[in-house]
Every structure is written in C-alpha cells, then in structure tokens.
Amino acid sequence: MRSTLFDLGFNQSKADHSFFFLKTKSVTIYLLVYVDDMLITGNSSSAISQIIAQLNEKFSLKDLGEVKHFLGIEVSKTSLGLHLSQGAYITQLLDKVKMADVKPHPTPMVSDLKLSKFEGEPTVDGKLYRSVVGALQYVTITRPELSFSVNKVSQYMPCPLDSHWKAVKRILRYLSGSTDYGLHITPSNFHISGFSDSDWASDIDDRRSTMGYCVYFGDNLISWCAKKQKVVSGSSTEAEYRSLAHLVSEITWITSLLTEIDIPIKTSRVVWVDNLSTIALASNSVLHSRTKHNELDIHFVRDKVSAKEIDLRHVPSLDQVADIFTKPLSLQFCTRLRNKLGVFPLASFELRGSVNLATLKSIKDEDMTH
C-alpha cells in the first residue's frame, strides 16, 4: 500500500506513519490507513474518485461512500459539524455483561472513591474484568470524560478485587444512560491551546500522582490523557510540571503534523495551568538544588516558553478543564467539564435544529473566565 501511494504522488507523514497526503496547486487529499481500513478526504471529489479507482486496480477495494463508520466509531453529520460516537459498541459491551437494562448513574465514578490494590476480595473473574476494561479503554476514543475512571480501573487488571469490579460496573451504569454521547467537531480557527493539571500523591498505595492534559485545535478537543506518573513527585509543583512537560511534548508533535500538511501555526500555543509556582518555574532562568532531579523537563518547557512557542497562563482551579482527567468529580463539575470537552448527545443536535455555532460555543465556554 505504501509503495503504491508513493507511486500515486502521496507523501507519508513523519509524525504519523499511517497518514498520507497529496498536495498540488489545486488538489489536496488526505488518506489514513489502519490495517485494511482506509479513510480518504480532500477538496476534489473527482480527484478522490480517481485515486480510489487507481487503488482498486492494485487492491480489492470496497467503496463505502460517505463515512458513517470507521474502526467502530460512528460518524453522524449534524447542522453544525460532525458527531463522533460509539453507541453500537457500547450497547454490545453492556449486553455482554448483562447490564443493558440497569439503572443509569449520572457520573462514571463516586467523587470521594479511593481504590487500593489491597482493599477488597479476590472474587472477580479476572478474564472478564480485563476484557471489559480493555473495551472501556477503546470507548475513551470518543468519551474523554471517562479517561480518568478507566485509567484507574486499568491499574488493577493483573489482580482485580471486588471493589475494582464495582467501580467498573459504575462506569457501565454511567454509559447505559449516555450511549449516544460523543465528541462534536465544528468548523473553527487554527489556534492550538491546552490545559494541564495533576492530583499530587493521589494513589494511596504508592503515592504517585495522577496527571492529565487536553489539547484543543480551535474549539475542538483533539488530544487528551489521564495517566499515573511513573515516579513519586516531591511536591505538587513537581507533579504539575511533569504533567506540563507531557502536554508541551504533545503540542509539539501536533504542531509538527500540522506543519507537514501546510497548516502553519503562527501564534503561540496557549497553555493553561492552575499552579502559579509551575508558571514561575517555567519563566525563571535560575535553577536551584530542589529542581535538579526534574531539570530535563524544566529545560524542555522553558526553552519552548522563551522561544514564544508556548504562552503559559494561569487559570483558576474552578475553570481547569484538565481537572476531569485527574480525579473523580461531583455531578455538577463532571457535567460542566464534560460540556467544555465538547461531549454531547447526538439527540441534542437533532432536536434543536435551530442551534448555531455561537450557541454551542456558549455551552462549552459557560463560566470560563478566559
């Protein structure tokens, strides 16, 4: 496939080897390949049809027309853009564990829950646990608000206890009441921004911190992460800085990918953090003994800030979107931040035909100080 695409004039992305692109003076075509599935789009329908015909001479292709499903992701057109969801996949998962008709929960995890690998009884079917949690990991592709809770239960896959299984069932109950929720993608500008946060020493077993970040391309969420840090952080500032370094690295990668396809980002990438000490550390050129063990991350972020590639700003904790990736939240905050991530039910766009981009943006930006 790769050599054939090269013969047709495509270039392979250095940032993502499954992504190919063809650009001429009048035609732009993007092509994404995953094993035997292919997604192709561009600004010329005739050029796309010609490429498909040429590929069909070499391979046995089945043209499915306008995209509606891709790798288990359902793509629905709305009056405002595209809605990406996994309703059918979620329904199959609920049927598998016989939870299709359970009473839904409004949040994926109890807000004050503290899981431990030592508290609970080993009465769980480990094979079923790993299968369900693995499926939940795939659901986070279109349901970013689940990232923290799924990451948490994933940490106990080697030896799950009944307390961990209860947490998994809570996530499934949440999904049972929100199967048609998904990411909504709308026309937007080409600005990149991100939020970074951490929950210091939150794991009660090893006191490692949980970090989280998310990246927006214009108004659309395109990348996110919830992950337990690999080392113990000596302070909340250190934990925050490690998370910030991962976010800046992700933004650097996204910028390189966009540059490859001639979408230059001319403005600084705005990054929001709620820790003032982290901002000061990124701006202060003086290192001291308390930061030596974290020096590589400090220099990496500081170089980006000094080169004006990253514009580091403070955001109040109440408006920190990445908070949803670091801890379980109450219903009020979970719903509020879920809206800011751009996760909505498809029905809300089908029923409110008069809704416009400004209305949708006001829902996302409600109470956002910046």
Residue 274, domain CATH: 3.30.420.10
Residue 368 reports pLDDT greater than 50: no
Q: What is the pLDDT of residue 366?
A: 59
3-state SS, residue 224: strand
CA dist., res. 240 & res. 337, Å (int): 19
Q: What is the pLDDT of residue 284?
A: 72
Average pLDDT over residues 103-130: 95
Q: What is the pLDDT of residue 265?
A: 86
Same domain, 205 and 312: yes
Residue 348: inside a domain, yes or no?
A: yes
pLDDT tens-digit map of 46-86: 999 999 999 999 998 999 999 999 999 999 999 889 999 99
pLDDT tens-digit map of 195-249: 999 999 999 999 999 999 999 999 999 999 999 999 999 889 899 999 999 999 9
Picking from 164, 220, 200, the residue whose alpha carbon sits closest to that of residue 327 is 200
User: Among the listed ranges 72-86, 123-137, 291-305, which one has the minimum average pLDDT value?
Assistant: 291-305
Q: Say how many domains are in the chain.
A: 3
Residue 70: inside a domain, yes or no?
A: no
Domain that holds residue 347: 83-182+329-364
Residue 71: inside a domain, yes or no?
A: no
Q: Which residue has the tokens 């009020």?
A: 332
Residue 100: inside a domain, yes or no?
A: yes
- Whether residue 30 contacts residue 19, with contact meaning beta carbons closer than 8 Å, is answered with yes
The pairing of beta strand 69-70 with beta strand 220-228: unpaired
Residue 75: inside a domain, yes or no?
A: no
CA dist., res. 323 & res. 106, Å (int): 18
Q: What is the pLDDT of residue 365?
A: 66
The pairing of beta strand 310-314 with beta strand 82-85: unpaired
Residue 77: inside a domain, yes or no?
A: no
Same domain, 229 and 317: yes
Average pLDDT over residues 84-94: 97
Under the phi-then-psi rule, with left for phi > 0, alpha for psi from -120 to 50, and beta for the rest, what region is 367?
Answer: left
In this prediction the pTM is 0.91
Q: Which of 65, 91, 113 finishes a domain?
A: 65
CA dist., res. 350 & res. 78, Å (int): 7
The rounded mean pLDDT for the chain is: 91
Residue 53: inside a domain, yes or no?
A: yes
Q: What is the pLDDT of residue 302?
A: 87
Confidence of residue 367 (pLDDT cuts 50, 70, 90): very low
